[in-house]
Amino acid sequence: MKNWKKYLAISVALCLLCGLWALGVSASSAGLRYGADGKFRILVFTDTHQHNADYPEMNAFLGEAIDYAKPDLVVFDGDNVAGSACENAATELAAIAKIINPVAERGVPFAFVYGNHDQEYRPGGQDGRAEMMAMYQSFPGCLAYDAIGDGKSVFNLPVYSGKDASKIVSNLWFFDSGNGAPAGYDGYDWVHKDQIDWYAAESAALQAQNGGEKVPSLAFQHIPVPEIYENFAAMPFEIPGLTLTVLGTSRLLLPNFLKFDGVVLERVSPPFYSDGQFDAWAQRGDIVAAVFGHDHANDFTMRVQGIDLVGCPSTTFNTDGADVNRGATLLILDENKPWSYSRQPVTYRALAKLPGSHLRVRSDDDRYYQFWALYILEKAIQGALWPGKALANIAYGVK
């Protein structure tokens, strides 16, 4: 009887899915469409780290950010739940409800991926992804589904034309980047071959459906791909504390200031290994940008081999060091220019200054000033190396 709420939530979700199947409608055919203005707006929250504690300011921010950005879709980009702080499935469901309710109350559809912390409470390392997927699907507006049959947050959502309801203009890919690295490896996990093979097949199928033309796409996953370190200088040998060996190459931990827009205020933390996910993206040639969470204080775009790698700032009030850059990221697609996108920060501090906001400006964390001192130093270095780029970054980065 203790788990009746958990089973009830799962049963409701399964019944909903069965009902959709009976009507001939799959979870993936959500009917996302460009608006009458030719735009499609995606609001990305990442690293909310919610659990059974209450964070009223974060929940207020979620709601005010949605009201401000007016998104067509909300994406939670992993570490949505602080699994280690959840006691059981019931508290896990309650944590999910706290971040989803502000979205569902506004009638906005949402999707999500898992991060490395979502599963942590599970005893003995059990994988509860399928159970959690059913929990999310019990909320109205959930468009996430299990495309490969193992409970992972792996799926895609096409975005149809606002002019021609049958035409797919854009596509959104969602990948499950796992938890900690597998036994025998250091660092974090990475996207494995089963997901890569699924992506390659689905990408080819979309191209065929689109008259042989590739469908421009965004990708969402929590942990960045290791190729993000191509914008960090290669070193002939490893220096403890100053370098990191990623994909077999020692890299300086200081990024190339000419190769990113925005701010890098903490070390980027990708896995050290890969099964070839980025290579598959490059080969297929349909990924315009890949959007990551994981590194809380960073807010940047780096271009690697023609693909934008986007690091989003965290939304959490549950972990240290997030106060400096807390916020969300708004991505805007244009039906008339589907191979491009625009990106806007939606920060907690900026919203708190708007008339009628219930948020309060927070400056109680001393690291706020330390981080912004580092930011100013970054811009000074960029200004010395490339003045025009520095001015563009300052215009983007000042919150």
- pLDDT at position 25 is 32
Quick check: is 13 in a domain?
A: no
| Comparison of pLDDT for 307 and 178, the residue scoring more | 307
User: What is the CATH classification number for the domain harbouring 152?
Assistant: 3.60.21.10
CA 75/CA 354 separation, integer angstroms: 24
pLDDT at 379: 60
Under 8 Å between Cβ of 261 and 396: yes
Question: How does the average pLDDT of the chain come out, rounded?
Answer: 83
Inter-residue contact 231 to 259 (CB < 8 Å): yes
Q: Is residue 206 part of a domain?
A: yes
The pLDDT of 199-226, averaged and rounded, is 97
How far is 202 from 194, CA to CA, in rounded Å? 12
Q: pLDDT per residue over 31-84, tens digit each? A: 899 999 999 999 999 988 888 778 888 889 999 999 999 999 999 998 888 777
Of the ranges 16-30, 127-141, 304-318, which one carries the lowest mean pLDDT score? 16-30
Question: Is the residue at 111 inside a domain?
Answer: yes
In a domain, 302, yes or no: yes
State which residues form the domain around 132.
Answer: 35-397
Range among 60-74, 250-264, 372-386 rated most confident:
60-74
Per the domain annotation, does 5 fall within a domain?
no
Average pLDDT (369-375) is 61
Section 350-354 average pLDDT = 90
Answer whether residue 116 is part of any domain.
yes
Q: Let me know if residue 7 belongs to a domain.
A: no
For the residues 239-257, what does the mean pLDDT come to? 88
Query: What pLDDT is attached to residue 349?
Result: 84
Count of domains observed in the chain: 1
Rounded to an integer, the average pLDDT of 147-151 is 89
Q: Is the pLDDT of residue 387 over 70?
A: no
Residue 173, in any domain of the structure:
yes
Instruction: Report residue 307's pLDDT band, with 50, 70 and 90 as the boundaries.
Output: very high
In this structure, what token pair is assigned to residue 298?
A: 């960073």
